[in-house]
Amino acid sequence: MSRIYNFSAGPSTLPLEALEEAASRFVDYENSGMSLIEMSHRGKQYDAVHQETIALLREILKVPDSHHVLLLQGGATLQFGMIPLAFLKPGMSADHVLTGSWAKKAVADARAVGDVSIAWDGAECSYTRIPPQQDLSLNPDAAYVHICSNETIGGIQWQAFPDTGCVPLICDMSSEILSRPLPWEKIDMVYAGAQKNLAPAGMALVIVSARLASMARTDLPAYLRYDLHIKENSLYNTPPAFVVWMTQLTLKWMKSIGGMQEIERRRDEKSGMLYNTIDNSGGYYRCPVDPASRSAMNVVWRLPSEELEQKFLQQAQAEGLSGLKGHRSVGGCRASIYNAMPVAGVKALSDFMQTFMQNNG
């Protein structure tokens, strides 16, 4: 077997241990004579996976009893629409902070439902920084404040969560969930597509406070009702069993290496190594992002020319460093270094960057 280092933004690399465990138990799940994805989701075996996955999420993220943990389908994209449908009632307005491509998608869906006010727009800096608290125009009567805590394409990340007073803060954490502990007292809802730090695609993790959930509309089609998913413990309809199982295996892997503390240590080691390589390149590699807003998950950089970028990407691929092309909307290079990317992968990339610069400087 030869696995390469996969720096794709999502779907992205998963822990080898989790993949191997799933493979070894895939065809005959715990002597049931069938795989987990073929059995009833109302049976004991799936139920145990479901409950343990939720329990592990609560444990690792230290989710307080005041918040519900939901496993829903439709990815993060369904949440873009489900949130305003549930919480942006007629006569109300939602505050959105525009930090880049993903924040914009959330705004577009919210506008299809109701009134949106832009609390800050990063257009003037080409979405290369996160606003300080004092630059946010927050409405104390807003239905909620929405932010994208890590912009997967632009490579910027909120280092601290904004203070929104009594207004619920809702946060798209798709590309950074489980990479840091969360200040639950400031956050009413987080959501994240599974396919970066958790599992394959096909699920969104949603963690919502009871206070916000109690305000959700109930006169909506069933799947769009948070109250129903809470009541049924995310088993209102058939759950994405394979994705939930892979999430459980990823979370077990996280625990086995030392939990959140070790994840944070590795995160800082990996992102530090890459940003140092960029900063010590004498301007050969350029990170367009404000240093105080740099993402620890998606590191973006440019080379002196687009021709060199092409050459860089081709040679990197040949060296087993895959998925480094920046998003088609911005170009350049991007390394997505989620939890499962080994430190050795980032070291190999950093070494490659230095060699490439020496040969093409």
For ligand PMP, which stretch binds (CB under 6 A), given 18-26, 74-82, 217-225, 250-258?
A: 74-82
- Tell me which of 196, 253, 301, 325 is the catalytic residue: 196
- Count residues binding ligand PMP (CB under 6 A): 11
- Let me know if 172 is a catalytic residue: yes
In angstroms, rounded to a whole number, what is the distance separating the alpha carbons of residues 309 and 304?
Answer: 8
CB of 214 to ligand PMP, least distance (A): 26
CB of 83 to ligand PMP, least distance (A): 12
**CA 343 → CA 52, 107, 272, 275, distances in Å?**
28, 36, 11, 14
> Which residues inside 258-317 make contact with ligand PMP, applying CB under 6 A?
none
- Tell me which of 102, 120, 158, 301 is the catalytic residue: 102
One of 76, 251, 296, 316 touching ligand PMP (CB under 6 A): 76
Radius of gyration of the chain (CA): 21
Tell me the residue length of the chain: 361
| Residue 75 found at the interface with ligand PMP (CB under 6 A) | yes
> Can you name the residues that pair with 300 across neighbouring β-strands?
334
One of 73, 77, 93, 354 touching ligand PMP (CB under 6 A): 77
- Let me know if 196 is a catalytic residue: yes
Q: Where are the alpha helices (DSSP H) in the chain?
A: 16-24, 44-60, 75-87, 101-111, 210-213, 226-231, 241-257, 259-279, 306-318, 343-360
In angstroms, rounded to a whole number, what is the distance separating the alpha carbons of residues 36 and 44?
Answer: 11
- Taking the least distance from each CB to ligand PMP, the nearer of 35 and 77 is 77
- Taking the least distance from each CB to ligand PMP, the nearer of 146 and 285 is 146
> Which residues inside 148-167 make contact with ligand PMP, applying CB under 6 A?
148, 152
> Which residues inside 165-204 make contact with ligand PMP, applying CB under 6 A?
172, 174-175, 193
* Core vs surface per residue 245-254: b (16+ CB within 10 A) or e: bbbbbbbbbb
* SS3 state at 53: helix
**DSSP per residue over 162-219, as a string?**
PP-TTSPEEEE-TTTTTSS---GGG-SEEEEESTTTTSSSS-EEEEEEHHHHTTS-SS
For ligand PMP, which stretch binds (CB under 6 A), given 25-33, 58-66, 72-80, 120-128?
A: 72-80
Give ∠ CA 178-179-185 in degrees, rounded to 5: 70
Q: Which x/- pattern over 2-21 shows residues binding ligand PMP (rule: CB under 6 A)?
A: --------x-----------
- Best CA proximity match to 60, nearest among 207, 203, 214, 167: 207
- Taking the least distance from each CB to ligand PMP, the nearer of 53 and 157 is 157
- Taking the least distance from each CB to ligand PMP, the nearer of 87 and 102 is 102
| Residue 102 found at the interface with ligand PMP (CB under 6 A) | yes
CB of 203 to ligand PMP, least distance (A): 8
In angstroms, rounded to a whole number, what is the distance separating the alpha carbons of residues 75 and 206?
Answer: 10
For ligand PMP, which stretch binds (CB under 6 A), given 11-19, 37-45, 71-79, 346-354?
A: 71-79
The tokens describing 334, both together, are 């991007």
Q: State the catalytic residues.
A: 102, 172, 196
- Residues of the shown chain interacting with ligand PMP in the complex, contacts defined by CB under 6 A: 10, 75-77, 102, 148, 152, 172, 174-175, 193
